[in-house]
Structure 1
């Protein structure tokens, strides 16, 4: 089944050139299969093998497949049909996996929202994708997400349904659109014929989210062909097989834990995935032992917490844990060196992007490569170029901007023609915004970013978005959000402000403005610095390099002062 070209799902899509697409198919990178079909192979071959664990819930491949069929039918019964988009915001749970597979089986396109997103982000994503439904948990900590979903539905006319995971018993009051229970969907009897709805390889599989460097996230369109190859290539480099037990503890809607190789990778090879709602070290390390986990993925802040906990408590006692994959942000070399001695697992550094290119260190690389680099491309078909400000190649050993293209790197964002002109060259190279150094051995070292983005524990925050909220406050003359170093998360948000005379603005004022707009909490600035004037570059732009150096120096001074006082 190929989505008709007149469908909204294929509007504003940048396709691979026809000759390249033909080459990718001829050379076997694209196999013309749906993502679900790779899982179906293992359902047929070993239906009773355990596929998914979530607390007390343990599902075989056949049970997971049947539950995905029930949810697929449920979507169809709600008039959610092939080519429709649904905005999915679920925690790490087995239902997320079943729903994702359900979508893959009938050509419904999940838009992978993050658990931390709130009304501000969800409204943007639903409107941009023209989603027809929202799938949300009943609540997240102190936020009623059913109420948030109804607020979004009231603002986005395409939304026809809200599907709720969790408590569905309490009355909500006036609702913009009907609510439905995900649990009811799991009790549905599947009646659809798989052959009628089976997507083709070129159909859209899902939308991932960009880091949002120029404001709110952009949508990254992944086809069944390119995303399946992404998964297969990562599986090969990571040596996933039927004996793999993968711990899914990072938010599952992120590309890294979903498909690099992640949850889907484990299912592609007939392995097992263990879902965990939080990477808190005590529970995560105990789960690794209890479930004989062989591979886990973490961001550097999580890896650091696990290392510290293991040093203090020795929670890990088994010998199953073979590989810790770390990505999301650059891992400090000194932390990388502690992984194997303390956790007993081989470190595999992962550097990539939801827009495509994935780099990994190899499991047989020597320790120097594993500790000091972020690896090399997972596919021989990945093309990379490292260039200077004029777009000219730089020699190995020299920092430069990373460009990439290949069989799993899309050629443009969805419905973003203006941004595509800036992010992609005319011959299809994607400018990732990363500054890297290529060593003579082909491995990359991440040296920084050339885009205005803050990486808080793997969550990307647009400086521009934070600044826009600051400008809503009376008295703010100029605003500049920059990254300030943090030993646990890597970076946090520091907001510099200049004020008009007679006004006073504090951190709480900025946070209140963002909360009132329903902005995800991780985007909040955690420090405000009031300055008389912003430093500027020679061309009159705010000199954020200078501001980053200022806050780094101030933090170092404050740390030294605390040390002297103690």
Structure 2
């Protein structure tokens, strides 16, 4: 399926066939909307690709993209693919500690960012060949701070030299996304061009997209959901995507109705915010994918929904519902074509209907599963068993009819809004302070965000009197905002389970849900 195909090949199909079809409609919060046809877009990415080549970016080099949703992000991502570089797309909520690690671990040679992040990126990667900076923050004009050595992004767009042709290689490296793992540092998930081609085709098939579909995109493009499910799915069919800087409940319907959007990928947080508003008199949506089937959306808006499950490592959905047979409320579907799944008890036995167990998935590495964790052989060895099964870390319930549902995260993973958060990463920061003997981060149920991090601690003699405030300040200084603990609970000792392990379930169960 992937032989002779890569991302430049896929884009070229539509540039040649439908050059005047809108590829992307940019809906900034400030200023007028901007439309880029397939022909317009191709010209811009060719210029940026040529500029990257002229400035020494070679085949396989890693280029950091630290940008909010914007035309510049999309152009840069495709320009990296065109020149044969690897786009390292990083979470724009990351702090300096994260950024230094991302830049060093990926071994980036260049970076592209926006004014609000220019100082952060410059200080985190001081030895790169160049830093290119846009003149706006996701559409909002801004000046670049003084004292930073950079190239204006406009200079890349103005490049007139041609970009040299390169051989099509489906298995060449394409992109890196950092995903929270069960250790204190995120893992770098490496995709090939074949991964992206697979994701584009499967996403379009799962959503039954056509060239007439208009995809609304507001989830962050540095994540798999928007990057693969939305952007690549739309590209596969030669469709149009409407891109916003981020989710805005107050702007959602205005943008959707003006552009006749027909589908979008959401997260439950977005749906809850929209359901709090009066429904619009009319819209063009055929369906939404809010991760689970939500009959309340169908009742409020007449929009069909069905569920799915996927992760950065699976490129697309390994479990997916069906628009005609969506299953019961909160169902995520059944195994998707191209994958095998097993749901096992701790002792390895397969679960029966009505039980829950740990989800394992199997596909083809470098095609339907990620190629590897970049520069992390230990994690690669642990991730797959001898038969090629990948342990997802998700505990999945199955009902009596074989339908699958979201369960829990194994190994202390929290789901904070759309973000996966490793409890161990937060714990490592707190333990470094010397103020606590032990600490345990758990998720507290939250009406909008699913859960938020809370830490239980036993203090040392060196702990300050205002320990709670100091721990929260420490987290704010060293972690992205969604990882900052919402509360600090001081204990004399922890409840224990077998082998004297901290009984996190007992801690979790002691916390009341945060209601609206």
| TM-score of the aligned structures, taking structure 1 as reference length | 0.84
Q: CA RMSD in A?
A: 2.0
Cα pair 1:72 1:105 within 8 Å, conserved:
yes
- Residue 172 in structure 1 maps to residue 146 in structure 2: yes
- Judge conservation of contact 2:131–2:150 (CA < 8 Å) in 1: yes
Which residue pairs with 1:239 in the alignment?
A: 208
Offset of 1:418 from its aligned partner? Answer: 1.9
For 1:112 and 1:344, how far apart are their aligned partners in 2?
Answer: 35
How far apart, in 2, do the equivalents of 1:137 and 1:511 lie?
Answer: 28
Q: 1:398 aligns with which of 342, 352, 355?
A: 355
- 1:64 and 2:33 aligned: no
1: CA distance, partners of 2:475 / 2:443? 18
- CA–CA distance in structure 1, aligned partners of residues 145 and 123 of structure 2: 16
- Match for residue 312 of structure 2 among 344, 350, 354: 354
- Which residue does 2:78 correspond to in 1? 101
Matches within 5 A, 1:308-319: 308-309=276-277, 311=278, 314=279, 316-319=280-283
Point out where structure 1 has 5 or more consecutive residues left out of the alignment. Answer: 1-27, 140-144
- Match for 1:129 among 93, 103, 106? 106
Q: Secondary structure at the match of 1:484?
A: strand
Change over 3 Å in CA distance of 1:341–1:201 after alignment to 2: same
Shift of 1:505: 4.4
Compared with structure 1, are the counterparts of its residues 432 and 461 closer, same or farther at alpha carbon in structure 2 (3 Å cutoff)? same
Q: Distance in 2 between matches of 1:393 and 1:412?
A: 27
1:325 corresponds to which of 289, 302, 315: 289
> Could you tell me whether the CA contact under 8 Å between 1:201 and 1:224 is conserved in 2?
yes
Rounded to whole Å, the distance in 2 between the matches of 1:341 and 1:171 is 49
Of stretches 287-296 and 115-124 in structure 1, the one that deviates more from structure 2 is 115-124
- Deviation at residue 372 of structure 1 after TM alignment: 3.1
Q: Which residue of 1 aligns with 2:53?
A: 76
Matched, 1:54 2:12: no
Check whether the contact 1:241–1:269 (CA below 8 A) recurs between aligned residues: yes
**Equivalent of residue 539 in structure 1, options 492, 499, 504:** 499
- 1:446 alignment partner in structure 2: 406
Cα offset, 1:370, TM superposition = 5.2
2:301 is aligned to 343
Which residue of structure 2 aligns with residue 295 of structure 1? 263
1:170–1:463: structure 2 CA closer, same or farther, 3 Å change rule? closer
Offset at residue 389 of structure 1 (A): 1.0
Give 1:181's match in structure 2, choosing from 119, 144, 152.
152
2:166: which partner in 1? Answer: 197
* 3-state secondary structure, aligned to 1:374: strand
Aligned to 1:24: none
Q: Is 1:477 the counterpart of 2:454 in the alignment?
A: no
Residue of structure 2 in register with 1:371 after alignment: 329
Count of matched residue pairs: 500
State the alpha-carbon separation in 2 of the partners of residues 292 and 387 from structure 1: 44
Rounded to whole Å, the distance in 1 between the matches of 2:194 and 2:4 is 6
Separation (CA, whole Å) in 1 of partners of 2:185 and 2:258: 40
* Structure 1 contact 233–378 (Cα < 8 Å) conserved: no
Q: Whole-Å Cα distance in 1 between the matches of residues 374 and 335 of structure 2?
A: 25
| Rounded Cα–Cα distance in structure 1 between residues aligned with 2:362 and 2:144 | 50
* SS of match in other structure, 1:70: helix
Offset of residue 54 of structure 1:
0.6
1:218 paired residue among 174, 187, 196: 187
In the TM superposition, what is the alpha-carbon distance from 1:226 to its structure 2 partner? 2.3
> Hey, what does 1:11 align to over in structure 2?
none
**Cross-structure match for 1:3:** none
Q: Is 1:387 paired with 2:344?
A: yes
Aligned to 2:472: 511
* Residues 360-402 of structure 1: per-residue CA shift (max 9 Å, x gap): 2111115xx15231112332x2011111112232223321111
| Distance in 2 separating the partners of 1:398 and 1:288 | 40
Aligned residue number for residue 139 of structure 2: none
Question: CA separation of 1:442/1:99 partners in 2, compared to 1, >3 Å: closer, same or farther?
Answer: farther
Would the alpha carbon gap of residues 112 and 502 (structure 1) be closer, same or farther in structure 2, given more than 3 Å must change? Answer: closer
Which residue number in structure 2 is paired with residue 12 of structure 1?
none
How much has 1:95 moved relative to structure 2? 1.6
Unaligned runs of 5+ in 2: 28-32, 137-141
- Measured at CA, do residues 241 and 401 of structure 1 come closer, stay the same or move farther in structure 2, by a change above 3 Å? same
CA distance in 1 between counterparts of 2:372 and 2:497 reads: 31
SS at match of 1:132: strand
Q: CA deviation at 1:284?
A: 1.1
Distance 2:197 2:181 in 1: 24
Whole-angstrom distance in 1 between the partners of 2:402 and 2:43: 44
1:230 matched to 2:190: no
**Matches of 2:356 and 2:441, distance apart in 1:** 25
2:244 to 276, 291, 310: 276
Check conservation: 1:400, 1:437, Cα contact below 8 A: yes
The C-alpha deviation readout for 1:255-284, integer Å capped at 9, x for no partner, is: 111112x11211221110001112111101
**Alpha-carbon distance in structure 2 between the residues aligned to 1:403 and 1:343:** 35
Question: CA separation in 1, counterparts of 2:227 and 2:439?
Answer: 36
CA contact (8 A) 1:361 1:370 kept: no
Residue in structure 1 matched with residue 30 of structure 2 by the alignment = none
The structural deviation recorded for 1:133 is 1.2
Structure 2 CA distance for aligned equivalents of residues 113 and 229 of structure 1 = 22
Is the CA contact (8 Å cut-off) linking 1:454 and 1:462 kept in structure 2?
A: yes
The alignment partner of 2:510 has SS state of helix
340-349 or 424-433: which moved more?
A: 340-349
